[in-house]
Structure 1
Amino acid sequence: MKSAARHLPFPRRSRRPAWAGRNYTLLTSAAVVTSLGSNGALIAAAFAVLETGGDSGDVGLVAAARTLPLVLFLLVGGAVADRLPRHRVMVAANSLNCVSQGAFAVLVLAGHAQLWQMMLLSALGGTGQAFFSPAAEGMLLSSVTAEQASRAFAMFRMAMQGAGLGGAALGGAMVAVIGPGWVLAADAVAFAVAGTFRWFLDVSHVPPREAGGGLLADLREGWHEFAGRPWLWSIVVQFSIANAVVAAAQGVYGPLVARDHLGGAAPWGMALAFFGGGTVAGALLMSRWKPRRLLLAGTLGVFPLALPSAALAVPASIGLLCAVMFVTGVTLEVFGVSWMTALHQEIPEHKLSRVAAYDWFGSVAMVPLATALAGPAESAFGRPAALWGCAVLVVVVTGLVLCVPEVRNLRRWTKPVTGGTGTKSSGPEAARLSADPERPVGGHG
């Protein structure tokens, strides 16, 4: 009986949900690997500069060297990713990041790293990121169907946020034990592994791209898609301001407040860890909760982004600051998942990367300016006033976005039918939405 039972054709259970197909699984796995490496590498790069005798200004120069090409090439990267197979663009960008981080590691380990070399290699890394990010977002958005989009994006973001937390903690420990050069080398290996995963992505479901009028024509078409949807450009403008002031508050003022009032770097690191924990909890929440009015729920979740700046302005105790950071992380993920779901259901598949490029561009374009002006603003108005100003700006721009009818009224699609980027809705709900005069301009793919 034992022998016979051993050969019975028992069905095998898949360890992954039915909606988590090959592409989604590969994309998530690769993203976790690169998030682990990159979050540690950010710490390692700063300490590599300091170990060569640099100061905080030199650390800022290396960071700026990465950000500048990211801003300059994002829109071109989006157009390229919609013109070429996205997974090939991702692999090429990962290869560039692997080579640049590997060279950075070799220079640091050899003890010959100079500031201009570190800036150049960081700029190469930023260039790779500019081409990678729009392609990756477009690939992810096209990897799931509409009825499972919210859960899929929530699980993806939860994996990313968890990997980011682990990568920062592990990277900091590794820098202390074995030095920044080896952490940078580990990041180069992570890019190589992730690029290998992405090489095996299946793009057979993506329709062949029609011959267009060239790169400039693609950029113009992407601009029309972006500018023709008030909900889209208004939220991107909102976050260009919100991200900038939050970067100034938490990137510049936060460590200073921690040094002067909270007990130094360790409490500030704990507050940031609570924020990361909140993002994981928020992603878990959004894997279950599916608000009908996507962008209304998401935008309401942005208001708490003002709380950390206000808590630093007081300044609040470390316990209260950690609680504020946790709540902010939760509500920000409500926005993040809702935003990705809205893009998935509203943007035609062949324009996803160009729209993602405008989204990324808006997210990072004003950050260097805001961090550069943080010091002069503190000198002119004082640190508490500058922090209160950051909090007020977040509230004001978020309130203005709620004045846009499309933001308040855009609804999740239901009753799936096939078409566009995945599975979309039909029936009375879809008919009513299509007839709504407040719907964004443009088709649904």
Structure 2
Amino acid sequence: MPAADAPESRDREPVERAASPASSTGLASGRLLRSAAFRWFLGGQSISMAGSAMSPVALAFGVLELTDSAAWLSAVTTAALVPMVATLLLGGGIADRYRRDTVLCLTSLGAGLTQVGVAFLLLAHQHPALLLPLSALNGIFQGLTKPALRGIVSNLAAGRGLQQASSLVASVRNATRILGPTAAGLMTACVGGGWAIAADAVSFLLAAAFFARMSLPDLPPRTEDGPTMLGELREGWSYFSSKSWIWTVTLAFAVFNAVNMGVWQILGPVIANGTIGAEGWGLVLSARGVGALLASVVMVKLTVRRPMAPALSSMSLAAVPLILLGAGVNAFWLAAAAFVAGVVSEFFTVVWETVCNTHVPERLLSRVGAHDEFWSFVPIPVGQLSTPFLAAAFGTAVVAVTGGWVAAVAMLVPLLVPSLRRIEINRNDD
């Protein structure tokens, strides 16, 4: 019986994912960087992530240059976020149904063209309402991109090479998160936010050219009586909902994300403004980015046989900065906690991507990944909208400290699932 269809009780370990025509091309860690397909993928991702790391700063200051209105900035960012989340599940079905390199090429091309439009509107000082449909389109392309990215590593790597590939991509992502905002700030200050958005547009278009060179094998031809897109989406949900080791982690992160995004992003600057100041807050954010970069570099070589227990246990430390934020500690201790949070968050990210790529059937990876992201992202607006009201009722310090403890406990709850604790990563890579 194929792994995708094998029944699994709560006490069984997940089984190794079944091979497929696409996944059979994956390379072990010793040959990963010698693969032209992986180099084209890593190059495209590097360029795309560099532009995406610049985009938030460039867009924020570009819109403020145009409108001098926080309300318009909120409208533009929300116009992209909502369609992105809404499109994730469809993106999972598309990425499992068609070649993922083709999906990435087309979505990167679409995202690049929408950013060209945004850059033009900002540079031409057009009415900000015209930005809304372009932002929505960009969000749709991002929603279609994310599931393809979750699944494509299994087409390019195998065995321990899966973790190495995830770690290399994470290292680039974290480096761009440190350097990208600074570059965007300098470019915005020198030539304006519109030109920084134009640079992001170019990065998407270049990434599309890189993805077009990957040349993954064609998928097997579909038969006339094969499943429809709707049937495949139902299959993805059925698999996701039947695997307690997956959905318990997703629910834990739904709680963690709602609390973390509400407290850290909304209350964080407010509390910092009255304690450590903007300079101290910038130091804290940078410390988290450095910790994440360090962890992703180390994870290229580090292998843990049964990684989920240490990954989830350490993730509870990512909630410590919320508690210290509410306690009003100085910038040094908050930065130290943020550094640790960056380390453990990236450790978990690499482990989770490796585990999913190892134990979820390749043909279902994007659909399962889309459900994982969708259900963990949906509560974020709830946390962001409710946190100010809770802070007004109970005080910012109480909400931050309580939220930190709730987030920490949420990370430990999935460890109650025996099959999750026993998951192994294949150590035989050659």
Same fold by TM (over 0.5)? yes
Contact 1:67–1:368 (CA under 8 A) maintained in structure 2: no
Cα distance, 1:33–1:397 mapped onto 2, change above 3 Å:
same
1:360 corresponds to 2:360: no
Which residue of structure 2 lines up, in the alignment, with residue 419 of structure 1? none
Is 1:219–1:354's contact at 8 Å kept on the other side of the alignment?
yes
Shift of 1:377: 1.3
Q: 1:260-409 alignment to 2 at 5 Å?
A: 260-264=274-278, 266-409=279-422
Q: Distance in 2 between matches of 1:22 and 1:411?
A: 29
Q: Does residue 149 of the first structure (1) align with residue 152 of the second (2)?
A: no
CA contact (8 A) 1:82 1:353 kept: yes
Q: Which residue of 2 aligns with 1:238?
A: 252
Q: Do structure 1's residue 165 and structure 2's residue 151 form an aligned pair? A: no
Deviation at 1:231, TM superposition (A): 0.8
- Alpha carbons 1:141, 1:340 under 8 Å: kept: no
Q: Once superposed, what is the RMSD of the aligned Cα atoms?
A: 1.7
C-alpha separation between the residues in 2 aligned to 1:208 and 1:162? 40
Distance 1:184 1:415, change over 3 A: closer
Which residue is equivalent to 2:57?
A: 43
Q: CA deviation at 1:25?
A: 1.5
CA positional deviation for 1:304: 1.0
Q: SS where residue 289 of structure 1 aligns? A: coil
State the Cα distance separating 1:382 from its structure 2 match.
Answer: 0.9
Aligned partner of 1:32 in structure 2 is 46
Q: How do 1:121-270 residues align onto structure 2 when only pairs under 5 Å count?
A: 121-204=134-217, 207=220, 212-264=226-278, 266-270=279-283
Quick one: distance in 1 between partners of 2:222 and 2:375?
Answer: 26
Deviates more, 1:356-365 or 1:269-278: 356-365
CA distance in 2, matches of 1:111, 1:44: 15
CA 331–103 in structure 1, closer or farther in 2 if over 3 Å, else same? same
8 Å CA contact retained: 1:27, 1:140 = no
Give the alignment's TM-score, normalised by structure 2.
Answer: 0.89
1:411 Cα shift? Answer: 1.5
Distance 1:207 1:414, change over 3 A: farther
In the alignment, is the contact (CA less than 8 A) between 2:98 and 2:219 conserved in 1?
no
Aligned to 1:119: 132
2:111 to 97, 113, 127: 97
Match runs of 1:52-71 below 5 Å: 52-71=66-85
SS of the residue corresponding to residue 127 of structure 1 reads helix
Higher radius of gyration, 1 or 2: 1
**Distance between the aligned counterparts of 1:330 and 1:219, measured in 2?**
35
Question: Any idea what the Cα deviations from partners look like across 1:108-156, whole Å, max 9, x if unmatched?
Answer: 1111142x22222211111000111101221123210113222221122
2:98 alignment counterpart? 84
Pair 92,18 (structure 1): closer, same or farther in 2 beyond 3 Å? same
Amino acid at match of 2:365: L
Quote the sequence identity (%).
28
Contact 2:316 2:409 in 1 (8 A): no
Q: Which amino acid aligns with 2:214?
A: L
Compared CA separation, residues 84 and 370, structure 1 to 2 (3 A): same
- RCO comparison, higher one (Cα < 8 Å, 6+): 2
Contact 1:209–1:350 (CA<8 Å) still a contact in 2? no
Contact persistence 1:34–1:194 (CA under 8 A): yes
The offset of 1:340, in angstroms, is 1.0
The amino acid of 2:302's aligned partner reads: W
The answer as to whether partners of 1:36 and 1:168 remain within 8 angstroms in 2 is no
Number of paired residues? 400
Distance 1:259 1:17 in 2: 49
C-alpha contact 2:89 2:371 (8 A) present in aligned 1: yes
> Matched residues in 2 for 1:29 and 1:326: separation?
27
Alpha-carbon offset, residue 399 of structure 1: 1.9
Q: Give the whole-Å Cα distance in 1 for the aligned partners of 2:311 and 2:113.
A: 38
Further displaced range: 38-47 or 143-152: 143-152
- Separation in 2 of the partners of 1:193 and 1:243? 32
Displacement of 1:210 in angstroms is 6.1
Q: Which moved more, 1:187-196 or 1:386-395?
A: 386-395
Change (3 A) 1:182 1:301: same
Task: State the shift of 1:49 in Å.
Answer: 2.0
Structure 1 residues 392, 308: closer, same or farther in 2, change over 3 A? Answer: same
Measure the CA separation in 2 of the matches of 1:163 and 1:351. 30
Q: Which amino acid aligns with 1:241?
A: V
Q: Deviations over 1:195-240 (max 9, x none)?
A: 1000111211755566632111011100111112111111111112
Could you tell me how far 1:281 is from its partner in structure 2? Answer: 0.6
Q: Structure 2: any 5+ residue segments left out of the alignment? A: 1-28
